[in-house]
Structure 1
Amino acid sequence: MLSKIKNIFKKKPPELSLTDKLWELLQNEKYEEVISEAKKLIGHKSAVIAKDANKLMGMSLFRQAKYQEALPHFQNATEYNPEINDWFNVVTSGTLSKNVEVGRNAFDKAVQLQLDSGHKEQPSIPCMRQYYACALRDIGEYELALEQINELRQIYEQIIITDTTFFYIRGVPFLSHTMDVAVDVFNGLGASFDAKEWIDSFSSKLDDEGREYLNEVKAKIHS
């Protein structure tokens, strides 16, 4: 979960010379040093630098699994010309700190920004759904995670083809990545949810390769 989230954080803006060193320290996992120095820049007169300082604080805390502490810094960053990644940082930190409503509202804002951009930014909406489902799964919110899995299912059914290159080009998570989360969600829901029927129904809408793969997935349910 954490490795996937790390990969979608936005890279440092090149013009921010004051925080260049801090980004390097962050990549080298010198989190306490980053926190100590970023604190000094949070009130900077430049909104761009103040935003960057908040993101550095949030990321340093998030990568230490201090989600509750990271959340307000990510929220502060959204006050400065927010981008999709800014809201999605709130999604992940809010959800993983069990502030579920905060995470849901931020997810809606991230999706709207993506729609407004004409789907030109990253991460894509399907990838955001997959990451969001991961976070919901990690806190045991299986019903909410299933909502995101079902949204992704509709996308796969529309595409039909399950080739990984085909998905990558379209900004859709690989089917195997989504189903890894789905299996955890199904097992979390337990006997109250007919996971095998769900998979059979889903399988009927995919190509031969997809059907073969989902048949293998069924063996992992409630095992």
Structure 2
Amino acid sequence: MQSGLFRRRILLALVLLPLLGGCSSYVFGPKKVGSSSHLEFQDEGKDKLVGDATMALYKEGTIGVLVGWEHSFQAGNDSKDQIYNRIYRGAVRFDVDPLVAPPAKTVTKAILSYTVQNGAQSSSKGSPESCATKLLLATEGWLGAPETDITKAPDTIPGDLYKDGLPEKPVGSIIRIDVTDAVKAWTTGAKPNYGFVFAGSTEEKGLIKDNDKCWTLLGGFSLRVNYSKL
């Protein structure tokens, strides 16, 4: 009886030991955030270079990023239509160097969290939901607003598709995405860490004669990484 109890206690200790001594976690805030703005237009006056989405970004203090698209069309006389097509991408980078510093660590789980802070969609689509449906891994160092003025921001922040079908949740929602594979690649040196890029479901270029829109302002970024010590 006592022998069986002793064995059970030893087994419990062996199970708890890695949890108590070898596993821990970091919660990282963003090192850098930025938004890019692709703009195509036909307007002799050029009086609408900044769209509603950009105004919302700066109203929030540029602490978030813009994702999605925004069209503007107004018919004119003698074929002098005003047409604007804006496509936004937002990026965020986390400094994960503490995971590489001694002692050696193995990433076991990484969760990217963010909040849907604001947004707008064409009225026919109902209440605004997140238009950020794609998560990419940035392929190079990037610059965007607020580091530079949105009208001077790069045309787009490049990235390779990492996850598609991100949750389309309403304003105020907190969204959590498993990004373990990406963080493991960064910490092992398999890929350089240029951060994450958010993109909308549609990035249709050209002069489009409608007033459709689907843009989202994301913020509240954090990256929680669980790891074990080797």
- The TM-score, its normalising length taken from structure 2, stands at 0.30
- The TM-score, its normalising length taken from structure 1, stands at 0.31
Greater RCO (Cα-Cα under 8 Å, separation 6 or more): 2
Which of structures 1 and 2 has the bigger CA Rg? 2
Greater fraction of residues in strand: 2
